[in-house]
Structure formats: C-alpha cells, structure tokens
Structure 1
Amino acid sequence: MTLIILAHPAFEKSIANKTIIEELQRSKLDLEIRNLHELYPDFKIDPKAEQEFLVRHDTVLFQYPFYWYNMPAILKQWFDVVFEHQFAFGSKGDKLKGKNFLASFTVGGKEKDYTLLEKHHFRVHEFCKNLEQTSYFAQMNFIDPVYSFRTSQADGYTHEEIKSTAKAHAEKLINQLGEI
C-alpha cells in the first residue's frame, strides 16, 4: 500500500499536480492520500498521527511542485516534525527502515534551463541530494525521483500541454509503483 504525502499550497488551482493525483486515483493501485494543506492549514502538523500513517505503509510517495529548487514549506515542516529522533533515526529510530521513499514533483520550466550554462545552472537531480540523504538517514529505500518539466502556465504552457505532461508523469508513477 502506498501513502501519498501531497504538498501543494494551491492544489485546487493546480493543473499538473491535480491531474497526477486524479490519474493515480483512477489506477488500480492501493493508495492513501494525505493532503497536508487541507489537514494542516496552520502548519501545526500532528507528528504522532503522521507517524501512524507512515508505519502502516510500505511505500511513501511525496507529491509536490518544485519551489525555489526545493519542496514547498509545508513539506519541509512535515519532515522536520514527523521524522523525529527515535522514530526515523537514532538508536531506536528504525520505524521507517526498509520502506520505499519516492519523490514526485513538477517543474514549471524547460529541462534545458536546468543545465550548467543556462539560467538555473544545475540539473534538477542535483537539487534532490537532501531527499536522498533523508531517505538513507531514515534507513529507507531511496527510489530515484520522478519529475516532469513544462508544467506551469506562468512559464507559457497551455492547459492542454500541462495536462498531457501530467498524465505521462502519472503513468510513469503508476508503472514504478506497480513494480515495487
């Protein structure tokens, strides 16, 4: 069973992330979704409740838009509060050991912009080292992130282009989750 930690500050307005979640829900996968902004609009995350959900699932999928080369603030807050000492790490912190860790996110711009000589200077994968280290530190199985470019109307992409990209993204996730 897969737990989806959804962290989108404006999910109802989203095209890409909303389409990805809708496609995942239509799949035959056994999923449970935790929409952090819906659950914790005040950012006061209940660590014990979240830990109970984590313990019950074999795979954790983090779904979010790529913001300022990282995750949205609520997801960072979630990690800070939920991945506690003696739960996710420490001498007795083995509650997540062996569980799968998969980040899935959307990137508004073009892939070519995320190269050494372009405006963002780094490939997107290079911004994921914190995810990989968090996974390893919690003794989880890190799975390479799934991400898609060209998912923002602000970057000039149409509703139809974004939806098409998001559907292809969801298909990758469905296949990946089906293989785990």
Structure 2
Amino acid sequence: MSLIVLAHPTFDKSLANKTIIEELKNSPVDVEIRNIHELYPDYDIDVKAEQQALLRHKSIVFQYPFYWYSMPAILKHWFDMVFEYQFAYGSKGDKLKGKHFLPSFTVGSSQSSYTALGFQHFRVYEFCKHLEQTAYHSQMDYIDPICFYGTSLTAGYTEDEIKAGAKQHARKLMEKLLELGE
C-alpha cells in the first residue's frame, strides 16, 4: 500500500488534482490518501498520526499543485513538523530510511514555458532540488517527480483537456507505484 499526502488548499474546486485522486481511488493500486487540508484546516498537524502513516508505507507520494515554484504552505508546514529531528534525521532519525519519496504535482503552465527560453526560465525539476535534498537528508529513495502541465483554465486549457491529462497523469503514477512494488 502507498501513502498519498494530498495538499491542495481548494481541493473541492480542483479539476486536475481531484481527477487524479479519483482515478487512484478507483485503481488496482492500494492507497491511503491523507488530505492534509481536510485533516488540518487550522494547520495544527497531528505529528504522531502523520509519522505513523509514514511508517505504514514503503512509497510516499506527495500530491499537490505547483504553487509559486514550490508547494502549498500547508505541505511545507507538514514537512517542518513531521520530518522532525530523531525521526527523519539525526543520530537516531532513520525511520524513513529506504522509503520511496515521490513528488507528484500539477502545473498550470505549459511544459514549454518551463525552459531556459520559456516564460518561467527554468525547468520544473530545477525548482525541486529542496525535495531531493529532503529525501536525501532523511535517507529516502528520491524518485523524479511526475508532473502534469497545462492544468489552468485561466491559461486557456479546457476542462476536457485537463481531465484527460489528469487521467493520464494518474496512470503514470499508478505505473510507477506498481514498478516500485506497491
């Protein structure tokens, strides 16, 4: 079974992330989904409950929309609280050692905008170095992110295009989890 840490501040209005989660729920892959915005609307994270969820799973997927070249605030706060000293790092902090760390996120803009000559000037992966370092520091196996570009209605994408892309993203995520033995 895999753990999905879902961090979307307006999940009820989401098109892409909601479709991805629905596809995962209806897939042959066994997942536990923890919607941290729903669980902790006041940002008062139950650290022990989240650590126990991490300990139950070999693969941890972080599912979220790519916000301002990073993650939503609650997910950053979640990492700050849950990946604590002597749990995720430190002389006795090896509880996550060997677990898979898989970022999975949606990006409003096109993939072509995330190039040196594109509107964003950098590839998405360049904005993920902090994730890779977090995995490395906590002795986890970092898996390159699975990204879904073109998820914004305001950028001109249609609902049908977004839903179709989200289903394809979910399939890629399921394939990766099955490949990892989940």
Q: Which residue of 1 aligns with 2:160?
A: 160
| 1:79-158 to 2 correspondences below 5 Å | 79-158=79-158
Q: Which amino acid counterpart does residue 160 of structure 1 have in structure 2?
A: D
| 1:3-14 to 2 correspondences below 5 Å | 3-14=3-14
Q: Which residue of 1 aligns with 2:28?
A: 28
Q: Gaps spanning 5+ residues in structure 2: where? A: none
Aligned residues: 180
Q: Gaps spanning 5+ residues in structure 1: where? A: none
Give me the whole-angstrom Cα distance separating, in 1, the residues matched to 2:110 and 2:140. Answer: 31
Question: Counterpart of 1:45 in 2: which secondary structure?
Answer: coil
Give me the whole-angstrom Cα distance separating, in 1, the residues matched to 2:126 and 2:88. Answer: 24
The CA deviation at 1:118 is 2.0
Give me the whole-angstrom Cα distance separating, in 1, the residues matched to 2:63 and 2:149. Answer: 14
Q: Percent identity?
A: 65
Give me the whole-angstrom Cα distance separating, in 1, the residues matched to 2:115 and 2:29. Answer: 35
Question: Counterpart of 1:86 in 2: which secondary structure?
Answer: coil
Q: Deviations over 1:129-175 (max 9, x none)?
A: 11100001000011111001101112111100000110110010010
Q: Deviations over 1:35-94 (max 9, x none)?
A: 011000011111111001101111100000000000000000000000000000000000
Q: Deviations over 1:4-51 (max 9, x none)?
A: 000000001100000000111111111101001100001111111100
Give me the whole-angstrom Cα distance separating, in 2, the residues matched to 1:160 and 1:118. Answer: 25
TM-score (norm 1): 0.99
Give me the whole-angstrom Cα distance separating, in 1, the residues matched to 2:132 and 2:150. Answer: 24
Q: Which amino acid counterpart does residue 127 of structure 2 have in structure 1?
A: F
RMSD: 0.6
Misfit runs of 4+, over 6 Å: none
The CA deviation at 1:116 is 1.0
TM-score (norm 2): 0.98
